[in-house]
Amino acid sequence: MAGFDQLGARAIAAGVAAGDFSASEVARAALDAIEAREPKIQAFLQVSAGLALKAAAATDARRAAGEELGLLAGVPVAFKDNMHLLGTRTTCASLMLEHYESPFTATCVRRMLDAGATPMGKTNMDEFAFGSSTESSAFHRTYNPWDITCVPGGSSGGSAAAVAAGEVTLALGSDTGGSIRQPASFCGVVGMKPTYGVVSRYGVVAFGSSLDQVGPFGRSVADVALAMDALVAAGRDPFDSTSQEVPAGFLAHLEASVEGMRVGIMPDLMGHEALTPEVRAALDDARVALGDQGVEVVEVDLPHMASSIAAYYAIGPSEAFSNLARFDGVRFGYQQPGCTTLAEQTALSRAYGFGAEAKRRQMLGAYLLAAGVYDKYYYPAQQVRTLITSDYRRAFARCDAIMLPAAPTTAWCFGEVSDPMQMYASDLFTISCNIAGNGGVCVPVGLGADTGMPIGVQLQGPAFQDHKLLRMARALERGLEESGRIKPGSVAPAFAGKGGELA
């Protein structure tokens, strides 16, 4: 099937339903694209060709029988490798889980499959989602489709790169401090972190349980909205105590008027020392594009935003230490050979099974939760969390969404950022959204004048107002499209071929 990668999710599902092409044809075209492009991108840790062809054949059989097809009928989808999918491994890009077979399918994955999606495989990530570049994967790097000398971002870098390279139409990632929105910005795709509780996390290996949220990547806001409809269609998940009942209709309300809606900006942010000139220019272009669509621009302030990284790196590692304590080299996971005692088995299995960043975060968490330290750091971090949440509440009383950079820079080159603290700073403008539990979406604005690399702008909205947030994201996309700055649904130029062949 020629040109599957030029089609959006809606077009593929409609084409399959109409009989213009079959789900099996789309699956084979996606597999061809993956085979041709993976040597350069390495977005996948496992390609599930058998599962993909079986699911596509089932979709075709349902159509032949006259049955109603799902929202994502025949749409190729990839899943971050911290999400269980029966018939695949779930490694979290770690030696600790290198051979771990998924015992069941995560709710978020199941809902995509129930909507008719074709599962193409599991994507690379930073080990246990600890990172911002996908360089901490225990298995291999993933390369940015816009420039393979650059990182794709992280920790959901594989999912973002797979969508940007046209290997799949949609992908799921997880976002604990920016791990969907930052790689979406680096790879020039749309990425959404829904409000905490909107998407079930049952079957997703936890990093920070009060921060994690699953969300979709796509090459247009419409594709992301369609994926969100699939993710929430079945209602609340009883297996996730944080799951909430959220109505579908993300796509149905996407083109509604934004006339009279307000977007908040922070003028002081434009002078932030971390922002590059081309990111500042992108923010200004986004502001103009929203204004052209009838959105009113107002000034807001988040006075405690600067404290969000400090709070995050007290809360996140503490929760990670608790969540990863189960990987003890005894019940499951990597087991160091030659050990003679339980203590030795546990200590050496964790020492060799975890990578450097995973060990760094767990050690930090262990320290932060220690007696005499907890009251000094962890408890105040939770107090700061309350202040940040209150700041957002006051800001959203004046506007419907807040516009921020998704990242302070464009994608950096491999080896350019080696200091962990410098790496952590790449999430400077995304972390506060997780701290407060709000929704956030990154929309591509164009290419930087200096680097020629993609830049995304982030919109953050009030909790459980994700429908409205996506409507404003679509208005931004529409304004940028009308100005000629972007073409929604486009694939990175080096991979914008036909029929799964490299251009």
Q: Is residue 142 part of a domain?
A: yes
Mean pLDDT is lowest, of 35-39, 51-55, 135-139, 325-329, for 325-329
Is pLDDT of 154 > 70?
A: yes
pLDDT for res 418: 81
pLDDT for res 315: 97
Question: How far separated are the first and last CA of the chain, in Å rounded?
Answer: 16
Q: Is residue 305 part of a domain?
A: no
Sequence-distant (≥ 6) Cβ neighbours of residue 421 within 8 angstroms: none
Helix (H, G, I), strand (E, B) or coil at 292: helix
Buried b (16+ CB within 10 A) or exposed e, 45-64: bbbbbebbbebbeebbebbe
Q: Is residue 477 part of a domain?
A: yes
Closest by Cα among 212, 196, 210 to 125: 212
pLDDT digit string (tens) for 344-391?
A: 989 999 999 999 999 999 999 999 999 999 999 999 999 999 999 999
| Mean pLDDT of the 176-186 span | 98
User: What pairs with residue 119 in β-bridges?
Assistant: 77
pLDDT for res 268: 87
Domain span holding position 191: 8-257+469-495
pTM for this prediction: 0.96
Q: Is residue 110 part of a domain?
A: yes
Q: What CATH number is associated with residue 108? A: 3.90.1300.10
Give the separation between CA 476 and CA 290, rounded to whole angstroms: 5
500 φ/ψ sector (left φ>0, alpha ψ -120 to 50, else beta): left
Is pLDDT of 499 > 50?
A: no
Give the separation between CA 396 and CA 376, rounded to whole angstroms: 31
Is pLDDT of 312 > 50?
A: yes
Question: For residues 160 and 80, is the Cβ–Cβ distance under 8 A?
Answer: no
Active site residues per annotation: 80, 155, 179
Q: Is residue 424 part of a domain?
A: no
Question: For residues 357 and 417, is the Cβ–Cβ distance under 8 A?
Answer: no
pLDDT for res 497: 54
Please, how many CA atoms are within 13 Å of residue 171, restricted to the half-sphere of its CB? 37
pLDDT digit string (tens) for 386-437?
A: 999 999 999 999 999 999 999 999 999 998 988 888 888 889 999 999 999 9
Q: Is residue 417 part of a domain?
A: no
pLDDT for res 500: 35
Number of domains in the chain: 1
Band of residue 110 on the pLDDT scale cut at 50, 70, 90: very high
Q: Is residue 209 part of a domain?
A: yes
Mean pLDDT is lowest, of 112-121, 275-284, 478-487, for 478-487
pLDDT for res 502: 30
pLDDT for res 484: 85
User: What pairs with residue 446 in β-bridges?
Assistant: 455
User: What pairs with residue 147 in β-bridges?
Assistant: 144
pLDDT for res 498: 41
pLDDT digit string (tens) for 66-99?
A: 999 999 999 999 999 999 999 999 999 999 999 9
Mean pLDDT of the chain: 95
Q: Is residue 221 part of a domain?
A: yes
